[in-house]
């Protein structure tokens, strides 16, 4: 029987004692009678009665096909009772992701419908004020909607309303400290305010609440490397950029970082006397796609040529 690695993380909000009690009863009944207790998550470890939530900090478990399918099916039923939140489930085979499910409320409850419409507006340029108004309606109806605060924070950040963005991101984190998007957004605000230490802390929190198969994990790593450079920690920045270049996960949205990160890593390797690593990094920068945030190709080639010149010597 094949064994996989399963990663589960997230939080669901049920909003009322009635909904919470219903889902608890359903979970216990189905786990015992339908699935014969072959479930990865036991109810006593994930249900929080005082907050009316289901909380799963990033949890890594060995799993059979049966355990995976049973747990997925049960959580798909559980999410129908929720009013906010999300759960991510990944299944990996020898480090390769073979399944990913993101479970979110999709019921006809007013709060759920308002949030889903508002989230669409957030992604549309020139609809910022309508998006803000919609997310405000959501949190007015249900004050523990961490995702709505995060999305409102994103719009405020985009509009340059840093004070409001900080409030929204911090509020989101206070409700759901497991959601990496809120830490990432707040970290970007801190970067813009030149609060590098606070930004670094938030980007580190992103990596603790996400996995390398998510784009946000690596986006936070790049931002963390930038913060370390500003904090005068080049060795840490070099380590982070090196990890980014060696990542095994191929996520298309990350390609835009390759040239800039490789160039920065090349400079850091060169200063550290690691000439071979620097040459490799500069060559990778030249091979990467163009990026307006990265130096021009001529500049990268200039730095590379200095290392390749006979007088440059050899490095480790």
The per-residue pLDDT for 311 is: 54
Q: Is 92's pLDDT higher than 80? A: yes
Q: Is 313's pLDDT higher than 70? A: no
Q: What DSSP designation does 301 have?
A: H
* d(C-alpha 138, C-alpha 151), whole Å: 11
Structure tokens given for 161: 């309303």
Q: Is 164's pLDDT higher than 80? A: yes
Q: Is 1's pLDDT higher than 60? A: no
The per-residue pLDDT for 314 is: 47
The per-residue pLDDT for 125 is: 81
What's phi and psi for 67, nearest 5 deg?
Answer: -60, -40
The per-residue pLDDT for 310 is: 67
Instruction: Mention every residue, 6+ apart, whose C-beta is less than 8 A from residue 36.
Output: none
DSSP string, 42-94: -HHHHEETTTTEEEEEEEEEEE-HHHHHHHHHHHHHHGGG-SEEEEEEEEEET
pTM of the model: 0.93
What is the share, in percent, of the chain residues with pLDDT greater than 90? 91
More confident residue, 18 or 312: 18
Q: 215-229: string of b/e by CB count within 10 Å (b at 16+)?
A: ebbbbbbbbbbbbbb
- Mean local confidence (pLDDT), 122-150: 94
User: Residue 79 in contact with residue 87, Cβ under 8 Å?
Assistant: yes
């Amino acid at each position: 029987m094949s064994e996989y690695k399963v990663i589960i993380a997230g939080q669901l909000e049920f909003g009322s004692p009635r909904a919470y009690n219903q889902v608890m009863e359903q979970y216990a009944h189905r786990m015992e009678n339908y699935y014969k207790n072959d479930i990865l998550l036991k109810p006593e470890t994930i249900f929080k009665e005082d907050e009316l939530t289901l909380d799963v900090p990033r949890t890594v478990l060995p799993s059979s096909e049966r355990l995976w399918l049973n747990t997925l099916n049960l959580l798909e039923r559980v999410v129908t009772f929720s009013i906010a939140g999300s759960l991510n489930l990944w299944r990996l085979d020898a480090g390769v992701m073979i399944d990913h499910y993101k479970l979110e409320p999709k019921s006809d409850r007013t709060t759920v419908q308002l949030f889903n419409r508002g989230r669409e507006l957030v992604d549309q340029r020139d609809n910022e004020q309508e998006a803000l108004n919609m997310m405000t309606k959501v949190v007015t109806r249900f004050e523990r909607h961490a995702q709505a605060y995060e999305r409102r924070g994103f719009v405020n950040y985009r509009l340059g309303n840093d004070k409001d963005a900080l409030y929204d991101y911090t509020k989101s984190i206070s409700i759901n400290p497991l959601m990496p998007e809120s830490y990432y957004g707040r970290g970007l605000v801190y970067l813009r305010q030149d609060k590098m230490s606070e930004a670094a802390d938030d980007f580190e929190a992103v990596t603790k609440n996400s996995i390398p198969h998510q784009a946000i994990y690596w986006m936070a790593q790049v931002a963390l490397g930038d913060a370390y450079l500003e904090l005068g920690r080049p060795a840490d920045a070099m380590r982070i950029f090196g990890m980014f270049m060696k990542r095994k996960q191929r996520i298309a949205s990350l390609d835009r970082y390759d040239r800039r990160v490789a160039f920065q890593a090349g400079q850091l390797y060169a200063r550290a006397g690691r000439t071979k690593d620097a040459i490799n990094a500069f060559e990778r920068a030249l091979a990467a796609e163009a990026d307006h945030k990265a130096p021009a190709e001529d500049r990268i080639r200039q730095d590379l040529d200095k290392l390749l010149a006979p007088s440059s010597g050899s490095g480790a």
